[in-house]
């Protein structure tokens, strides 16, 4: 394991390793850095993109609001 | 009964795509659970503050906030609000940005942890999002948050006490720290069974496919 998450009193961490495999449309709309007006949601540094079977859906990543 | 598939969701209240993403996740889960021999799905929300510098009592509209506080051109703001309102309507959400009260959400996140401790987190999350985006309620002031807690059946006085004492502030901070360690800087962000990350308001089919993938992998391990 590359890291150990800090203890969360009543909120168990989703897993001991941050090495998620990213799936889905990498440009799906999200809110980043305080506003929702960036061209794409931020992703984990170095995260993988979706396998083809899982990457064909999601909303286009155009300018978003709020 | 098979072990539930766990979905951890990092999300803010003041996040229009989080509410839309919640609806799309729910649709994906519903489709998955409608199929035979599916394991149950358990969803847990975690705190994320998109704009911790927002005043509790920001004076002005959502458009004012974005154009003044975030220095975005007003015409761009207007376009964006119209766009997100339209997308929200597609999933049955009637966003009302004209009546929205822009506010800091850290107290609302503490209330979500309070509700979780009382087994009502999902109801509280839905109530807070609806209050903020649809009903124009103020989700930054403690008495109004206590009112919302009471509306889902929690004890108003005890919820207010908890908020006034910052009883769950450490839990909120732990969520924020965890998000930082995971490199999550945008929400909604979904983690399936601690293995798969999904960023943004994806289509229901995407969530369904990830649930299917987790199920297939479990079956392969078991066989």
Mapping DSSP onto H, E and C, the string for chain A reads: CCCCCCCCCCCCCCCCCCCCEECCCCCCCCEECCECCCCCCCCCCCCCCCCHHHCCCCCCCCCCCC
Nearest residue of chain A to residue B17 (CA atoms) = A30
pLDDT tens track for B109-153: 999 999 999 999 999 999 999 999 999 999 999 999 999 999 999
Q: Inspect the interface and report whether the beta carbons of B200 and A32 lie closer than 8 Å.
A: no
What letters, b where the CB count within 10 A reaches 16 and e where it falls short, cover B149-175? beebebeeeebbebbeeebbebbbbbb
Please report, for chain A, the start and end positions of each structural domain, with discontinuous segments joined by +: 21-66
| Dihedral pair phi/psi, residue A58, rounded to 5° | 110, 165
pLDDT-derived band at B29 (thresholds 50, 70, 90) equals very high
Of A40 and B15, the structure prediction assigns the larger pLDDT to: B15
| Three-state DSSP class for residue B46 | strand
Q: Inspect the interface and report whether the beta carbons of A35 and B83 lie closer than 8 Å.
A: no
Of B215 and B76, the structure prediction assigns the larger pLDDT to: B215
pTM, two decimal places: 0.84
Tell the CATH topology of B5-222.
Glutaredoxin (3.40.30)
As a whole number of Å, the end-to-end CA separation of chain A is 37
pLDDT tens track for A7-64: 444 443 343 345 689 999 888 888 886 667 544 344 443 333 333 233 223 333 322 3
Predicted pLDDT at A33: 67
Q: How far is A35 from chain B (nearest CA, A)?
A: 7
pLDDT-derived band at B1 (thresholds 50, 70, 90) equals low
Instruction: Compute the distance between CA of residue B215 and CA of residue B156 in angstroms, rounded to an integer.
Output: 40
| Three-state DSSP class for residue B197 | strand
Strand-by-strand arrangement of the B189-192 sheet: A21-22, B196-199, B189-192, B5-11, B41-47
Q: Inspect the interface and report whether the beta carbons of B183 and A37 lie closer than 8 Å.
A: no
Predicted pLDDT at A45: 38
Instruction: Compute the distance between CA of residue B50 and CA of residue A41 in angstroms, rounded to an integer.
Output: 13
pLDDT at B8 over 50: yes
* Chain A positions in Cβ-Cβ contact with residue B82 (cut-off 8 Å): 65
Averaged confidence pLDDT in chain B: 95
Q: Inspect the interface and report whether the beta carbons of A65 and B189 lie closer than 8 Å.
A: no
Instruction: Provide the H-helix boundaries in chain B.
Output: 16-33, 62-64, 74-90, 106-117, 121-133, 142-151, 156-164, 169-182, 204-222
Predicted pLDDT at A35: 66
Instruction: Compute the distance between CA of residue B200 and CA of residue A22 in angstroms, rounded to an integer.
Output: 11
Please report, for chain B, the start and end positions of each structural domain, with discontinuous segments joined by +: 5-222
pLDDT at B177 over 80: yes
């Amino acid at each position: 394991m590359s890291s150990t998450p800090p203890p969360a009193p009543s909120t168990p961490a989703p897993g001991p390793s941050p090495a998620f495999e990213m799936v889905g449309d990498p440009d799906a709309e999200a809110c980043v850095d305080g506003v929702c007006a960036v061209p794409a949601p931020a992703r984990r540094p170095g995260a993988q993109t979706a396998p083809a079977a899982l990457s064909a859906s999601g909303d286009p990543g155009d300018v978003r609001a709020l | 009964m098979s072990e539930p598939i766990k979905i951890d969701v990092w999300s803010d209240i003041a996040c229009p795509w989080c509410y839309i993403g919640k609806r799309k996740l729910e649709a994906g889960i519903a489709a998955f659970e409608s199929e035979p021999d599916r394991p149950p799905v358990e969803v847990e929300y975690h705190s994320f503050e998109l704009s911790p510098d927002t005043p509790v009592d920001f004076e002005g509209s959502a458009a004012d906030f974005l154009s003044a506080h975030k220095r975005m051109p007003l015409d761009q703001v207007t376009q964006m609000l119209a766009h997100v309102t339209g997308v929200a309507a597609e999933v049955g959400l009637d966003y009302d940005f004209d009546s929205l009260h822009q506010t800091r959400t850290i107290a609302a996140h503490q209330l979500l942890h309070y509700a979780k401790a009382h087994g009502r987190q999902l109801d509280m999350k839905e109530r807070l999002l609806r209050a903020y985006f649809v009903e124009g309620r103020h989700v930054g002031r403690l008495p109004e948050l206590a009112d919302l807690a009471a509306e889902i059946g929690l004890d108003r006085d005890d919820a207010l006490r908890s908020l006034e004492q910052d009883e769950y502030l450490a839990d909120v901070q732990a969520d924020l720290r965890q998000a930082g360690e995971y490199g999550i800087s945008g929400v909604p962000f979904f983690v399936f069974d601690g293995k798969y990350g999904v960023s943004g308001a994806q289509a229901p089919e995407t969530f369904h496919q990830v649930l299917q993938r987790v199920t297939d992998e479990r079956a392969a391990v078991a066989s």
